[in-house]
Amino acid sequence: MAIIKVQKGTKDILPAEMPVWHFMEDKAREIFTQYGAREIRTPIFEATELFARGVGDTTDIVNKEMYTFEKSERSLTLRPENTAGVVRSFIENGMHRLSAPVKLWYKGPMFRYERPQAGRQRQFHQVGVEVFGIKQPTADAEVILMAVNYLKALGLNDLSVELNSLGCPECREEFKAKLKSVIKPYLSELCPDCQSRFEKNPLRLLDCKVEECKEIYAKPEIQAVIQSDFICEDCANHFNELKSYLDALKINYSINKLLVRGLDYYNRTVFEIKSNNLGSQNAVCGGGRYDSLVRNLGGEDTPAVGFAMGMERLASLIGNKEVEKTKAFVVSNNILEAVKLTEELRSSGITCEFDLTNKKFVKQLEKASKVAKFALILGEDEIKANQVTVKNLDTSEQKTVSREDVKSLIV
């Protein structure tokens, strides 16, 4: 009979890999809680309309990458990202009535049908933060600082922050018109995706990864438009104030006029944090401001800013972490007494095992040396005297003590 294998673009996270995942999750809870963010968990599937309206029907995610299925005449989609789901929950659960800012963080699996590549799967995991209710650039600065400090807490220091401002819908229209006018002579030379984006969302042209398109966008007349300061006075003031905060906080950053991000809901601030230890796919964090999304999804007009990070990429940068050994292993050929001592220790919060198959004493001791820090030897003499011989498996030192004193030696 043929073996059923894991599906392409998905992978098992095995026990040996779990320490690094627990490390990322624990640090997220620690760092984000310091900033006043509270964890939220949203469903893995949502109404397809949520992503069409939220993420944008001109994006690759909605057009090409969503896992959508019909059930009871409803269209449902496995979440390709979590900002739209968090915004839906923010609206539905009346969180706009809470005192601003409302800071939420999440972790969990996302799903996109795309070509698997380094650090990217069809089922992948993200950790992210969303902050609602603050229109001032103080929120943008804090979100960027939160992301940087989280990455530093993971031990990642070889990082670079890239910033851009997409402006507001009003000042962006003039920029789009100028961009289209200088690109139009080269339209027939662009890839099919860019030809489609030209009318629907010309800003997305700048996000193209096709080399031939990138060469066209590098032409002087096109770069002159891209590098222009097109944003209005209010947006410019917002961006300049953000930069002043980052300067004061000693966050090193650079301005990247090509940075537009791949989602339609962004306005004003967009940012990416990149690792110099990855190849061409080197972004480990992306985010920005999305002031119109809450309103577009049926809520009250609420400014918001946030970010997300791919956990598989983070794990590849952190590397393996040692699996923590069990604290104690009971070595005994008296199974009943071994079970009793094991459960006594477990009930006190001490990780402990014993040999379920009652192998020979020597074999049990060999296993204990591989999986535990202490061997608790329970032979006939120890059982009669209500004692336990505690052996430190790192130093080989051992001591026989009363059963009541065992915990004090192995904690």
As beta bridge partners, residue 196 has: none
E runs forming strands in 150-245 = 159-165
Q: Give the CA-trace dihedral at 82, 49, 53, 88, to 10 degrees.
A: -50
User: How far apart (Å, rounded) are the C-alpha atoms in residues 214 and 206?
Assistant: 8
Q: Give the CA-trace dihedral at 188, 194, 200, 205, to 10 degrees.
A: -120
What's the whole-number mean pLDDT along residues 224-240?
A: 86
Average predicted confidence (pLDDT) for the chain: 89
- Of 180, 228, 233, 182, the C-alpha closest to 203 is 180
pLDDT-derived band at 203 (thresholds 50, 70, 90) equals: confident
Q: For residue 56, what are the contacts with CB-CB under 8 A and spacing of at least 6?
A: 62, 201, 263, 264, 265
pLDDT for position 355:
92
Tokens 């943008």 found at: 140
E runs forming strands in 133-238 = 159-165
118 versus 396: the higher-pLDDT residue is 396
Q: For residue 193, what are the contacts with CB-CB under 8 A and spacing of at least 6?
A: 60, 208, 210
User: How far apart (Å, rounded) are the C-alpha atoms in residues 307 and 105?
Assistant: 10
Q: Is residue 136's pLDDT more than 80?
A: yes
pLDDT for position 8:
87
User: How far apart (Å, rounded) are the C-alpha atoms in residues 304 and 266?
Assistant: 10
Q: Which helix (H) or strand (E) holds 247?
A: helix 233-248
- Of 373, 332, 369, the C-alpha closest to 354 is 332
Residue 315: both structure tokens together: 């794990």
First to last CA, the chain: 49
Residue 97: both structure tokens together: 């009535």
Instruction: State the pTM of this model.
Output: 0.86
pLDDT-derived band at 279 (thresholds 50, 70, 90) equals: low
Kindly report, residue by residue over 339-350, the tens digit of the pLDDT: 999 999 999 999
What's the whole-number mean pLDDT along residues 387-395?
A: 93
pLDDT for position 309:
96
Q: What are phi and psi of 10, to 5 degrees?
A: -130, 160
276 versus 104: the higher-pLDDT residue is 104
Domains of the chain: 15-168+231-318 (3.30.930.10), 326-410 (3.40.50.800)
Q: Which of 118-122, 185-189, 337-341 has the lowest average pLDDT? A: 118-122
pLDDT-derived band at 262 (thresholds 50, 70, 90) equals: low
Q: Which helix (H) or strand (E) holds 39?
A: strand 38-39
Residue 116: both structure tokens together: 């698997």
Q: Is residue 120's pLDDT more than 80?
A: no
* Burial bucket for residue 32 (CB in 10 Å: 0-12, 13-18, 19+): buried
Q: For residue 274, what are the contacts with CB-CB under 8 A and spacing of at least 6?
A: 159, 160, 161, 162, 282, 283, 284
Lateral strand order in the sheet of 372-377: 352-354, 326-331, 372-377, 387-392, 398-402
Kindly report, residue by residue over 12-32, the tens digit of the pLDDT: 999 989 999 999 999 999 999
What's the whole-number mean pLDDT along residues 80-84?
A: 93
Residue 38: both structure tokens together: 């509270």
E runs forming strands in 67-222 = 67-71, 74-78, 102-111, 123-132, 159-165
User: How far apart (Å, rounded) are the C-alpha atoms in residues 143 and 156?
Assistant: 17
pLDDT for position 62:
65
* Burial bucket for residue 194 (CB in 10 Å: 0-12, 13-18, 19+): buried
Kindly report, residue by residue over 315-347, the tens digit of the pLDDT: 989 988 888 899 999 999 999 999 999 999 999
pLDDT for position 253:
94
pLDDT-derived band at 80 (thresholds 50, 70, 90) equals: very high
pLDDT-derived band at 289 (thresholds 50, 70, 90) equals: very high
pLDDT for position 241:
97
